[in-house]
Structure 1
Amino acid sequence: MGNDADIKRYSAEELHAMRARGESRSDWARVRGMTEADLEQSIAKDPDWKDVPANWHDTALPVRPGPKKLISLRIDEDIVEWFRASGPGYQTWMNAVLRAYVMEQKKKQGSGPGPGKP
């Protein structure tokens, strides 16, 4: 994995112009020629997908950014460090994990009131 110095940012217009000049390094003919089995094998070899369960899409939900509430929250240090190690956006990821938990609990409770509420 590279570092931030390896990252190049381009606008959509710049990328379009680069492709028009033949500067794209993507082998689109190879991609279009891939079979479903080829794609599955490519995904299986990708280290970024190693911990993603095969049926991840069965429970995946779109992330809808909305207003956030700033709070002070005490969380065990090892938990924070584990999420922080994933890099920028780790707080958004923590929020997504909590949201998935809440949604699962709501399903179990039949969308009734939250825990401990009559």
Structure 2
Amino acid sequence: MSNEPISSNSQTDWQRLDAMSDEDIDLSDCPEITPDLFAKATVRRGLPVAKNKAQVTLRIDSDVLEWFKSQGQGYQTQINTLLRSYMEAHRS
């Protein structure tokens, strides 16, 4: 079986998309991420990570921290991954 694309021509109307304003975009099939929806999110490993890490002091509710710790080794990496996903989802 060939891995070559079926068509080399995009069928996307790029000029129409470039001319659209934010208000013209139909987001009805893409609901806003609410805290409840975010709480049900799944952490995916293997996301690109920054090479430089900064050590910080961060105040987190004790029950939240205990829950992450109960997930086992790597809980700090898991917190970082969640924060990165949130950041990337809200970048403009």
Q: Normalising by the residue count of structure 2, what TM-score does the alignment of the two structures yield?
A: 0.48
Larger radius of gyration: 1
As a proportion of its length, which structure holds more helix?
1
